[in-house]
Amino acid sequence: MKKLHYEITIHAPQEKVWQAVTEDKNYREWTAPFHPGSYFEGSWKKGDKMRFLGPGENGQVGGMLSLIEKSEYPSYISIKHYGQIVKGKEDTTSDEVKKWAPSYENYTFEKTNDNTTCFIAELDMPEEWAEHMDTAWPKALDKLKEIAER
């Protein structure tokens, strides 16, 4: 497992950056560089189950099963990934899942001043996905910045 770190300075208050990250319409826009058509089902509240989803092969839904470990508005979110959804079915026990689960994705919304936030994403990632993330995260952060600064 590899630890990845990405950050960007956004000229918007923490609350507006949080909204850009977590609101459905915004989420669909800023996460497109990872997988076009990405969306979520669930809530960003502590203890809530989340399903991070997107269109898969032959139109079948795929994605991640996750739990919001911490949610401290407007400064921090910790997401625990514990399973996957393949062809619409939940998988938490396969050998494939055991290679990376649990893994964490943490978002810090660091207030720089009243109108500037440093958004930091830190995540655990299997080696084979690191290159994709190193390409996708900078694009996603640029899109997130654009959304929050509108």
| Number of domains within the chain | 1
Q: How many CB atoms lie within 10 A of CB 75?
A: 15
Two tokens at 34?
Answer: 């990872």
Q: Is the pTM of this model over 0.85?
A: yes
Name the residue with higher pLDDT: 82 or 59: 82
Quick one: CA torsion of 48, 28, 102, 118, rounded to 10 degrees?
-90
Mean pLDDT, residues 15-22? 98
Residue 36 to residue 51: CA distance in whole angstroms: 16
pLDDT band at 41 (very low <50, low <70, confident <90, very high): very high
Are 10 and 145 spatial neighbours (Cβ–Cβ below 8 Å)? yes
Residue 141, phi then psi, degrees to nearest 5: -65, -40
Q: Are 2 and 125 in contact (CB under 8 A)?
A: yes
pLDDT of 128 > 80? The answer is yes
pLDDT surpasses 90 at 58: no
* Domain CATH code at residue 28: 3.30.530.20
Structural domain boundaries, residue 91: 2-148
67-76, 79-88, 116-125: which has the minimum mean pLDDT? 79-88
* Nearest-angstrom CA–CA distance, 83 and 88: 12
> Other C-beta atoms within 10 Å of 19: how many?
15
pLDDT score, position 63: 93
Would you say 63 and 85 are in contact if contact means Cβ atoms under 8 Å apart? yes
